Amino acid sequence: MDREKITLSGAQETLLATLYGRAVDSRSPDSILHDHAAREAVERVAYDFGKTGMTDTTAVGIALRAKQLDDWAMEFLAEHQKATVLHLACGLDTRVQRLDPPSSVRWLDIDYPEVIDLRRRLLPEPSGNYEMVGTSVTDEAWLREVPDDRPTVVVAEGLTMYLRKEDGKRLIQRITERFPSGQLLFDVYGPLGIRLQKMVPAVRNAGATLHWGLDDPHEVEAWHPGLTCLDAVRSVDMPGVEKMPTSGRMSMRVMAHLPGFRDVGRILRYRF
């Protein structure tokens, strides 16, 4: 079987690191996500995954971040069985397969056209009320085409740090102005994480650049009336950190006690 050649670069190329992290996790006897579709996709790609600098600790961290966002999304869908899910910068994430929503849920996977094209070739397309949209998430046109008739949950994993702050702010404002109610689920880097970006092999080797670091999660609340931060989970405090190898657990404990480092990454949940 011929493997898919990868022509992505920059921020788009980093989606392969996330895919690989989930695949590495799936091989573990103590797997967090059991994302076998990610493993199968990795086997079909012609790419040097050594460029990602993936370690067992990093793979667990990627899986734990995804699990937290999955759990919050599932909570929302349990409360709103007829809802819309906007999965921004979906990359090759198999979230829709992992959550397996009922047909009453409208699900949109959104990313650049070349990413969506690769996604169609590598991942099975789910049935039900599902659509892939090939566009930049910061483009205003696609959002106007999404019906505003349902509670809406927005999931954006590994996106915000690649945006300029003004673009991220406007995206959040457009979403919260468009829909009557819902939640925003996304992860962020702190300012120190942005300054240390060249220490991240997947970012450095892809030639990507990180821009936006959020220092105070409550800052976002001022961007739209009724926008409330429900949860701000530090990466060092993620549920399941104990699953990391000993070296990873020790690093997390040290970082948790260092100003700046403890806030290098967060996973956030907002209500609007």
Are the beta carbons of 155 and 179 closer than 8 angstroms?
Answer: no
Residue 29: φ, ψ to 5°: -65, -20
Enumerate residues 6+ apart whose C-beta is below 8 A from 109: 87, 90, 96, 116, 119, 130, 131, 132, 133
State how many domains the chain has: 1
Query: Residue 262: pLDDT above 70?
Result: yes
What is the value of pTM for the model shown? 0.96
CATH number at residue 175: 3.40.50.150
- DSSP 8-state assignment for residue 237: G
Q: In the prediction, which pLDDT does 52 show?
A: 96
144-173 in b/e burial notation, b at 16+ Cβ within 10 A?
A: eebeeebbbbbbbbbbbbbbeeebbbebbe
126-136 pLDDT per residue, tens: 989 999 999 99
Query: Residue 1: pLDDT above 80?
Result: no
In percent, how much of the chain has pLDDT > 70? 100
Q: Which single residue is written with the structure tokens 């996304």?
A: 186
Closest CA to 270 of 166, 160, 134: 160
Mean of the pLDDT values across residues 239-262? 92
Q: Which of 4-8, 68-72, 213-217 has the lowest mean pLDDT?
A: 4-8
Rounded to whole angstroms, how far apart are CA atoms 163 and 224?
19
Closest CA to 237 of 215, 212, 216, 262: 262
Enumerate residues 6+ apart whose C-beta is below 8 A from 151: 76, 80, 83, 84, 179, 180, 181, 182
pLDDT band at 259 (very low <50, low <70, confident <90, very high): confident
86-113 pLDDT per residue, tens: 999 999 999 999 999 999 999 999 999 9
Which range of residues forms the domain containing residue 9?
4-271
Enumerate residues 6+ apart whose C-beta is below 8 A from 66: 22, 33, 93, 95, 157
Dihedral sign of CA atoms 235, 236, 239, 240 in order: positive
Query: Residue 24: pLDDT above 90?
Result: yes
Query: Residue 269: pLDDT above 80?
Result: yes
pLDDT band at 71 (very low <50, low <70, confident <90, very high): very high
Residue 90: φ, ψ to 5°: -65, -25
Rounded to whole angstroms, how far apart are CA atoms 33 and 113?
27
